[in-house]
Structure 1
Amino acid sequence: MPRYVIERDIPEIGSAEREQLRDAAQKSNGVLAAMKAESKNIQWEHSYVAGDKTFCI
């Protein structure tokens, strides 16, 4: 199965509080749900948070 990296620019996410991280994750989960509704076979594995970016595998 192919793997992809999704890079998101989110200012100061690397120093964000837990609630801000949770909000960013909820947005990503919404996109994932929409893609699944379109019958796209995609699965989130894990994420990395660094500085002003997140990277989702």
Structure 2
Amino acid sequence: MPVDEAGQGKSDARAATYANTLMAGAKDSERSARWCRMKGVERHSEMLGLYIADPASR
């Protein structure tokens, strides 16, 4: 495989990883927003810890 193709493959893999990270972050954001609505609380950074800890409390 020529060097240019190998470099392009690495770039493609990084781009795919970046896209997957963005999609996962968006899903996490949607879930935390839904959790806040269900709990009747305003969404802000202090609620993030409670959102993360909530499944562990069950």
Could you tell me the TM-score, scaled by structure 2's length? 0.40
Larger radius of gyration: 2
**Which is richer in helix?**
2
**Which is richer in strand?**
1
